[in-house]
Structure 1
Amino acid sequence: MSEQSSEQPNRLELWCAGEEWCPITATARLVGKKWHPVIVHRLLKNGPLGFNALKEEVDGISSKVLSDSLDDLEEKQLVNREIVSEKPVRVEYSLTETGESLRPVIFAMRDWGNEYLEPAEDRDSAIA
């Protein structure tokens, strides 16, 4: 990455297919995986959480998928993983400054969903 002044946020390098770099496509690739926005939302809403507490907050996610998602979000510099205690080992997850900067995006998704979506009565009547 190139050098940046201390006033600029830490910028992530993402590759985009096509002739021009597209910030929408790149951002969608970054946070568009099924559980990523939900995990970021729960950390925005609750602050730092341990693995089991986060799993409870993200209803329907398996331990493996949560672990893989957290690894991916950590690699993309959106989530911090901190070992809080050695015995027993306890890990806590929090958002990085870059992860925190997704607040308006994630809350806009929440607000749009609250305004334009409603729970389906059953799976067959839902839009997939």
Structure 2
Amino acid sequence: MGTEKENKKLADCAPEELCPVRDIMARFGDKWSVYTILYLGQHGKLRFNELKSMISGISQRMLTVTLRSLEEDGLVSRAVFPEVPPRVEYELTALGRSLLQQLLQLSDWASQNLEQVLEARQRYAKKA
């Protein structure tokens, strides 16, 4: 059960309104965005193909869509260098680094509680 303040934030989100929690989670909560933010946070500036090789299973199209979305929301910056062939580098903005800190906290929680989650899944599977 959340605090009264947390419950009020969630209750204030009528379905027809733009709910900050729903909007942010829908936009940044997908696995490709999370992986992209984590890898850029770990490595700093990366070129497209470097990032693509690090994110197992992502297609070129999905990485393009993800990077554009993160850039649109101000989390990633894209720098194009006038070379032949053109060099493009991506890195987290200050806003992106602030989100990275939250993702790292979630990652820590997941690491600390993985065993309990796996045990709960096993218990649930036995009931089903």
TM-score by length of 1: 0.70
Q: Is the CA contact (8 Å cut-off) linking 1:85 and 1:91 kept in structure 2?
A: no
1:2-81 equivalence runs, <5 A? 17-18=14-15, 22-81=19-78
Partner of 1:12: none
Residue 96 of structure 1 aligns to which amino acid in structure 2?
A: T
- The root-mean-square deviation of aligned C-alpha atoms, in Å, is 2.3
5+ residue gaps in structure 1? 1-15, 121-126
Larger Rg belongs to: 2
> What TM-score, normalized to structure 2?
0.70
Deviation at 1:25, TM superposition (A): 2.3
Q: Residue 93 of structure 1 is aligned with which of 90, 95, 99? A: 90
Residue 102 (structure 1) aligned with residue 99 (structure 2): yes
Identity of aligned residues (%): 40
Q: How many residues align?
A: 105
Structure number having the greater helix percentage: 2
Give the unaligned 5+ runs of structure 2.
1-12, 119-124
Equivalent-residue separation in structure 2 for 1:17 and 1:93 (angstroms): 36
SS of structure 2 residue aligned to 1:106: helix
CA separation in 2, counterparts of 1:49 and 1:29? 25
